[in-house]
Structure 1
Amino acid sequence: VAIVDFAIQNNIKILVGTSGWSKDKLDALRDKMVGKSATVVVIPNFSIGSVLATKFAAEAAKYFDAIEIIETHHTKKLDAPSGTALFTAQEISAARKGRDAKPVTAGNPAPVFNGVPITSLRIEDAHAEQEVLMAGPNETLYFKHVVDSHEVYAQGLLLAMRKSPGRTGLTVGLLNLLEEK
């Protein structure tokens, strides 16, 4: 955070990759930028596929009452649930206008974040994987994203580096850069 504060105070453009910043932290950052000409681009996830899966899941979530997120990572990952799972839950909650989701799996003891149950699995040698399950009467919809190589993050990073220089103010999320013409 200190380097971002330095960039804002000195009107420097900065690209930050982190999934750990809450809405409150981003709002505080936005407030610090008032009257400054700095550019701060915060990308919680550099995977284009992950960003699109979250977008599609949030749109579909408007039409289902039962929703769960299951995310899997390697055992060395420190956070659980992942920042991406928390962001996905936040986007689903926003799309549902705060209506809590029922769990898809009856009796699921998973903790609930932003009204969405999230199950976090940490498995030796697992790659990054996130699945959003939605269920309605007689149907189940799955949005699943799997990272097989860390190379996918390089593509999103290159996109962010190409699109960031022309921006001003605070931009949060790779989707905002993807959708830019």
Structure 2
Amino acid sequence: MKSILLAGAFGKMGREIQKLIAEHKDWSLDAILVHEHFPENYSGRAKIFRQLSEINQHYDLWIDVTKPDSVFENAVWAIEHNTSLIIGTSGLKNDQITKLKSLADKNSVSGIIAPNFSISAVLMMYFSGIAARFMPNVSIEEIHHPDKLDAPSGTARITAGILADNGASTKTVSTSADGDKNIIEKVLITSKRKKDYVAYQSVDFVNEYETLSISQNSLDRKSFMPGVELAIKKANQQQGLVVGLDKIMGLK
């Protein structure tokens, strides 16, 4: 039986992950770390912790879907207590990821940082990396729900890195006022927050006489659950802390 601690269990992602865990007989949600309001009608059997200092036993796996201001501290705690982990929270900076990977190596802890659990989003980033080698003038547009705290999104930042690694950048920066604009890895990212969106991203390539757009749209948070399921199965099989669901999907 895989013993799981879920941090951020009562957010929208956390509630879906609770349902996913309950569907597997060999997984057990044994603890919850509450950063947000605790619902009065909770009837589960998981032990409830409100602070890291309250956690007094070991769990096989830590799943974190909290907030950018708490995820790094949570991850450090999990690694230092030899707990395999899955980080699904956006907002980790590159230097924080580097520190977590180093700490995981030092403590022989395995896990996955997943900027996006959507299988289609991972494929979008993968295909964009291929296209970047042939169409190096590119920009990104991402649209998320109004409650998303970070902009650009973690997925957009990772995508920009993939594009840059394959020689692409934005040659002409748009002057349109629509959306929040940032240059990451020399790639323009336009971020928008709109009602009725979960997660959308388009990677737009331009040549002199042609264009190519590779887009992905998550219509419901249920779309993330196959990726979460795969991460739970594979987290403790990794060598250290890997970044990206593609690392466990066999993409090269």
- Within-5 A mapping of 1:1-181: 1-96=72-167, 100-103=169-172, 107-108=175-176, 110-179=181-250
Paired residues in the alignment total: 177
Q: Higher RCO, 1 or 2 (CA under 8 Å, sep at least 6)?
A: 1
Give 4+ residue runs of structure 1 displaced > 4 Å after superposition. 105-109
What TM-score comes out, normalization by structure 1 length?
Answer: 0.87
Task: Show CA shifts across 1:18-73 (max 9, x none).
Answer: 23222221211222234422223211110010011011112211222321111112
Q: 87-96 or 13-22: which moved more?
A: 13-22
What TM-score comes out, normalization by structure 2 length?
Answer: 0.64
Q: Distance in 2 between matches of 1:3 and 1:174?
A: 20
Given residue 102 of structure 1, which amino acid in structure 2 is its aligned partner? K
What is the aligned-residue RMSD (CA, Å)? 2.0
Distance 1:16 1:65, change over 3 A: closer
Q: How much identity, in percent, do the aligned residues show?
A: 32
Structure 1: tracts of 5 or more residues without a match:
none
State the shift of 1:141 in Å.
0.5
Distance 1:127 1:38, change over 3 A: closer
Are 2:141 and 2:202, in contact at CA under 8 Å, matched by a contact in 1?
A: yes
Q: Distance in 2 between matches of 1:40 and 1:3?
A: 14
SS in 1 for 2:197: coil
